[in-house]
Amino acid sequence: MIANESLAEAFKDDFLIGAAVNSRTIVSQRDLLLQHYNSLTAENEMKFESLHPAEETYTFEAADEIAAFARQNGKQLRGHTLVWHNQTPDWVFDDGHGGSADRNTVLARMKAHIDTVVGRYKGTVYCWDVVNEAVTDSGEEWLRPSKWLHTVGEDFIAQAFRFAHEADPDAQLFYNDYNECNPGKREKIYRLVKSLQEQGAPIHGIGLQGHWNLIDPSLDEIRAAIERYASLGVKLQITEMDVSMFAFDDQRTDLTAPTDEMLRLQEQRYGQFFRLFRDYKDVLTGVTFWGAADDYTWLDYFPVRGRKNWPLLFDTNQQPKGAYREVVSL
């Protein structure tokens, strides 16, 4: 019966099918995860602030639990994320006297973090989002203003890739970003990765986060982004996919269930996306959803805290939606 068909099984000749998980969902969504996904990503547990809240303190419990869940159940694990402007503690950039630490100090801290974290999960994490969201969304400015950029300079990105490669020469190293199909931002990401390659930095892939909605981006924009990134000779993954029921300017907060029209459009969109992904299966090595079912999604907290959203292939009871059927029947 189609409802029982495993998503991962349906795409086993194409690419990995992943889900973001957290300490709660590896319990509450256990059966669903085991049946439908063959790759996992920790939603927050492997971020800098979660693992390394103070210079001499590492807190690995939650991340270890997710790594053990992946290992015990034969799931691949993506590591997310080593260097990001967000969810990184202030101590990394402080000189301890109320000022900014200097370049060498911040680089040494970055290296210590990467050595320890990548080293710990060597053999379990097969792929790291080494740097996340380092370019600006719009405007002339290229790299996002951040404490990493401010204290280290532009080469913080290349350095992060070098440190990660030293810590685990077998890991696949990705640059990961959102709004990745927007033509302006797409070119900034392209330029960044090209410049990393020219500097000889070990980069193997680009992660297209895939936080999309019923309208944006267009299929043409997605295709153009895939083609452009693939021209760099790197692997691609969709790393954080969801299809929000709300367009960027949709302010509604009163819906307690998705409308039939929303569900219909979402089915159509998911079908189009996966058809497109299949066309690029030679370069696309994984499609990860940012969650497993609509009972838990970060979009219930963003951009409007408390507004329910239904962006995934399984509903709030973890039952298959029409979008799931559309995708597995391709």
Indicate the residue whose CB is closest to ligand G3I.
298
Beta pairing class for 16-21 and 211-213: unpaired
Which residue, 24 or 281, has its beta carbon nearer to ligand G3I?
Answer: 24
Q: Which of 43, 45, 180, 240 is catalytic?
A: 240
CB 312 → ligand G3I: shortest distance, Å?
13
Q: Would you give the end-to-end CA distance of the chain in angstroms?
A: 15
Which residue, 161 or 178, has its beta carbon nearer to ligand G3I?
Answer: 178
Query: Which residues 126-165 are close enough to bind ligand G3I by CB under 6 A?
Result: 132
Stretch 291-320: interaction string toward ligand G3I, x if CB under 6 A: -------x----------------------
CB 181 → ligand G3I: shortest distance, Å?
15
CB 41 → ligand G3I: shortest distance, Å?
9
Query: Which residues 30-69 are close enough to bind ligand G3I by CB under 6 A?
Result: 43-44
Which residue, 311 or 320, has its beta carbon nearer to ligand G3I?
Answer: 311
Distance CA 287, CA 313 (A): 13
Look up 198 and say whether it is catalytic.
no
Which residue, 5 or 216, has its beta carbon nearer to ligand G3I?
Answer: 216
Beta pairing class for 76-84 and 39-42: parallel
Site size with ligand G3I, rule: CB under 6 A: 9
Which residue, 39 or 132, has its beta carbon nearer to ligand G3I?
Answer: 132
Look up 43 and say whether it is catalytic.
no
Pick from 4, 35, 57, 87 the residue near ligand G3I by CB under 6 A. 87
Q: Which of 43, 45, 133, 180 is catalytic?
A: 133
CB 169 → ligand G3I: shortest distance, Å?
25
Binding residues for ligand G3I (CB under 6 A) = 43-44, 86-87, 132, 178, 209, 240, 298
- By annotation, the residues acting in catalysis are 133, 240
